[in-house]
Amino acid sequence: MDIIETIKSGLDYLDGFLGSADYFPFLLIGVGLFFTIYLGLPQVRYFGQAVRIVKGKYSKSSDPGDTSHFAALSTALSGTVGTGNIGGVALAIFMGGPAAIFWMWVTAFLGMTTKFVEVTLSHKYREKTEDGTMAGGPMYYMEKKLNMKWLAVIFALATIISSFGTGNMPQINNIAQVMNDTFLIPNWITGVVLAILLAMVIIGGIKRIAKVAERVVPFMAVLYVIGALLVIIYNYQNIVPSFSAIIGSVFSGSAAVGGFLGASFAYAMQRGVNRGLFSNEAGQGSAAIAHSAAKGKEPASEGMVSLLEPFIDTLIICTLTALVILSSGVWKDKHQNTFDRNDMIFVAGEYSDSSESDVKQLQIFLDRKTEKTSEVKRFNGSISIQDGVAISDGFTLINARSIAEDVTYHQYEDESLKSTPITGELTVKDGRLENPEIVVEGKSLLHSASLTAEAFTRGFLGENGKYIVSLGLLLFAFTTAIAWSYYGDRAVTYLFGSKGVHVYRVFYVAMFALAAVVDTTVVWALANVAIVMMTIPNLIGIMLLHKDMKKTVKDYWSDFRKENPK
């Protein structure tokens, strides 16, 4: 095992005690449920008020802050509406079946309240920095109100790590890959061009970031929604069955069709909750940083604006993505594709997905927590290949949690993009091909953005539908990188003062360009840990301030009624 895989394994192990732990979904949902009851269903009662505030009905130019309510909402949405809405939903269905979407809905509905709370408190305890701009976020209420500087430092450090791990490197890596696959643009060109554009935006600070966000976010959202509807309407006869699959599979405990990792109640819940968090970030505290820059004297008013985010991000956009995937039927079919090295694993013995016994054994094996107790073992040895096809037996290749079919093995020629079928012996160690240059193709399940792209071809636009996904990924991922640069910017300001911001921005842009051409597997693993290191302290903090929150909301309505008598 090389150093990269060793680091990733260590981070995955740590994640087992954090985001992938059994308690985490209950913690996230539990906090949202508590505040939903404690504050009297604010996501429903204050929804209309939130819309009026976003429209600027109560705005005053004299209010302190750097951006408008709409600009703050757009900036926060640009950070949340990203690859998670396209690839994350597909991954949730792939890992947990349709039931995972139900838990994404639950997370979003309760997350509307969680975000309302974290944004209100962050806006309330924000402060003006040396350069005259506003700085806020959970780290400020942790220090100023809770007197827990150590907790604030943990949150700020995790925010900086997450800015690279979720908002920066994986985003450009996805963009570069999509641009290469769709338009044959070399990865390095995409990286350099977008890094220059990124630098031009973030050097202007929150005002320029917000200006770009409030123009790009509405456009990209409308474009994606129209594209999704063209697929859903084309497959209109499957709309009701899709909703039935989501609701019905919640308690059925059935396995995801075509896959091995079952969609049990507990597993689908965990996958749906985690994907919901990664999508709308409710509870993570990141969006609270953007909203802290909004103009306004009443913190609760900005909190109300923020409760619209999970609604737009998850209950609308993610639901549309789910319906595209489920109604088109692509999620349960095997498709011809080039296998990713991280998705492949060779197991000893021959298995069939038509055998219920084989499927159950593979389910146990593919679960990280039960692999060691499984009867299925990783394959070690050599495979004989002739003209690209395996002629030896005694093994089964699993790709994307499905038994691969029609598999061929190729290797690219040194000075061309052409690949030639292999004849000879391939060495497999601990279930992995030793030679990383081998290209493996065949039929298997798809997941992430590839699954969504395939689903978008099953509508009125046909094969052209994949361009909606490509453009959506480009815009979503790029604006996510912009928003997260600001989150990291404010965390750096909190820890080191304004003097550290310029160094951070240079490093942020440099890593953005570099990540277009390097493997970001470890970065993703690090981000999974950092996200939870943001979320847990934030959830603890807002729970400790529940009385403060209730009083803040009560004071808002008291002042509002005085200024706006009927």
For residue 561, is it within any domain?
Answer: no
**Distance separating alpha carbons of residues 529 and 535, to the nearest angstrom:** 10
Of residues 370 and 394, more confidently modeled = 394
In the prediction, which pLDDT does 193 show?
A: 93
DSSP, collapsed to helix, strand or coil, labels residue 385 as: strand
In the prediction, which pLDDT does 455 show?
A: 94
**Contact between residue 349 and residue 396 where contact means Cβ atoms under 8 Å apart:** yes
Co-location of 474 and 409 in the same domain:
no
Work out the end-to-end distance of the chain between its first and last CA atoms, rounded to an integer number of angstroms: 70
In the prediction, which pLDDT does 226 show?
A: 94
Give the range among 3-12, 72-81, 180-189, 401-410 with minimum mean pLDDT.
3-12
Beta strands in 257-415 (DSSP E): 335-338, 344-348, 381-386, 389-390, 395-399, 402-403, 405-412
Co-location of 282 and 423 in the same domain:
no
Domain that holds residue 471: 3-333+455-553
In the prediction, which pLDDT does 411 show?
A: 87
Chain segment 138-185, per-residue pLDDT in tens: 999 999 999 999 999 999 999 998 898 888 888 888 788 778 777 888
In the prediction, which pLDDT does 311 show?
A: 93
Return the bridge partners of 398, or none.
345, 403
Output the domain CATH number for residue 232: 1.20.1740
Mean residue pLDDT across the chain: 85
220 pLDDT more than 90: no
Q: Residues of the chain with pLDDT > 70: what percent?
A: 89
Q: 203: closest CA among 508, 493, 511?
A: 508
In the prediction, which pLDDT does 519 show?
A: 67
Give the range among 22-26, 59-63, 100-104, 540-544 with minimum mean pLDDT.
59-63
Q: Residue 289: enclosing H or E segment and its boundaries?
A: helix 287-291
In the prediction, which pLDDT does 449 show?
A: 82
Co-location of 481 and 437 in the same domain:
no
Full DSSP string of 146-161: T--HHHHHHHHHHHHH
Q: What angle do helix axes 501-514 and 465-496 make, rounded to 10 degrees?
A: 150
Co-location of 315 and 426 in the same domain:
no
Of residues 348 and 416, more confidently modeled = 348
**Distance separating alpha carbons of residues 232 and 369, to the nearest angstrom:** 37
306 pLDDT more than 50: yes
Q: 308: closest CA among 548, 485, 115?
A: 115
Per-residue burial over 246-259, b = 16 or more CB atoms within 10 Å of its CB, e = otherwise: beebbebebbbebb
Q: Which of 444, 478, 511 delimits the end of a domain?
A: 444
Q: 82: closest CA among 508, 511, 475?
A: 475
**Contact between residue 269 and residue 124 where contact means Cβ atoms under 8 Å apart:** no
Co-location of 320 and 361 in the same domain:
no
1 pLDDT more than 60: no
* pTM of this structure: 0.86
In the prediction, which pLDDT does 179 show?
A: 82
Both tokens of 556, joined, read: 């808002």
38 pLDDT more than 90: yes
**Distance separating alpha carbons of residues 451 and 559, to the nearest angstrom:** 50
| 146-to-22, 95, 121, 141, 157 alpha-carbon distances in Å | 28, 39, 12, 7, 18
Co-location of 427 and 481 in the same domain:
no
Close Cβ partners of 492 (under 8 Å, ≥ 6 residues apart) = 160, 500, 501, 504
**Contact between residue 272 and residue 106 where contact means Cβ atoms under 8 Å apart:** yes
In the prediction, which pLDDT does 255 show?
A: 43
Full DSSP string of 99-130: HHHHHHHHHHHHHHHHHHHHHHHHHHT-EE-T
CA 58, distance to chain mean position in Å, is 33
Rama region for 56: left / alpha / beta (φ>0; ψ in -120 to 50; rest): left
The CB density around residue 283, as the number of other CB atoms within 10 Å, is 28
For residue 560, is it within any domain?
Answer: no
**Distance separating alpha carbons of residues 401 and 338, to the nearest angstrom:** 15
For residue 119, is it within any domain?
Answer: yes
pLDDT-derived band at 521, boundaries 50, 70, 90: low
Of residues 47 and 246, more confidently modeled = 47
In the prediction, which pLDDT does 350 show?
A: 94
Q: What amino acid occupies position 450?
A: S
Co-location of 425 and 471 in the same domain:
no
Co-location of 325 and 399 in the same domain:
no
Chain segment 231-257, per-residue pLDDT in tens: 999 999 999 999 998 887 776 654 444
For residue 566, is it within any domain?
Answer: no
The DSSP output letter for 67 is B
For residue 24, is it within any domain?
Answer: yes
Q: Which of 413, 444, 475 delimits the end of a domain?
A: 444
Co-location of 55 and 193 in the same domain:
yes
Q: Which residue has the tokens 């981070």?
A: 11
For residue 563, is it within any domain?
Answer: no
In the prediction, which pLDDT does 253 show?
A: 52
- 3-state SS, 431-453, equals CEECCCCEEEEEEECCCHHHHHH
Number of domains in the chain: 2
Tell me whether strands 424-429 and 419-421 are parallel, antiparallel or unpaired. Answer: unpaired
Chain segment 254-297, per-residue pLDDT in tens: 444 444 444 456 666 666 676 767 677 888 898 899 888 888 78
In the prediction, which pLDDT does 430 show?
A: 92
Q: What is the mean pLDDT of residues 409-431?
A: 83
pLDDT-derived band at 523, boundaries 50, 70, 90: low
130 pLDDT more than 80: no
Of residues 533 and 206, more confidently modeled = 533
For residue 412, is it within any domain?
Answer: yes
Give the range among 102-111, 235-244, 319-328 with minimum mean pLDDT.
102-111
| 457-to-178, 207, 259, 467 alpha-carbon distances in Å | 15, 38, 22, 9
313 pLDDT more than 60: yes
Co-location of 461 and 494 in the same domain:
yes
**Contact between residue 442 and residue 336 where contact means Cβ atoms under 8 Å apart:** yes
Phi, psi of 411 (to 5 degrees): -145, 135
Co-location of 303 and 184 in the same domain:
yes
Per-residue burial over 489-513, b = 16 or more CB atoms within 10 Å of its CB, e = otherwise: bbbbbbeeeeeebeebbeebbebbb
pLDDT-derived band at 447, boundaries 50, 70, 90: confident
In the prediction, which pLDDT does 259 show?
A: 46
In the prediction, which pLDDT does 264 show?
A: 54
Q: 224: closest CA among 437, 515, 473, 28?
A: 473
Co-location of 61 and 188 in the same domain:
yes
For residue 449, is it within any domain?
Answer: no
Q: Residue 468: enclosing H or E segment and its boundaries?
A: helix 465-496
Rounded CA Rg of the chain: 24
Q: Which of 444, 473, 500 delimits the end of a domain?
A: 444
In the prediction, which pLDDT does 511 show?
A: 92
The angle at the Cα of 284, spanning 73 to 269, to the nearest 5 degrees, equals 110
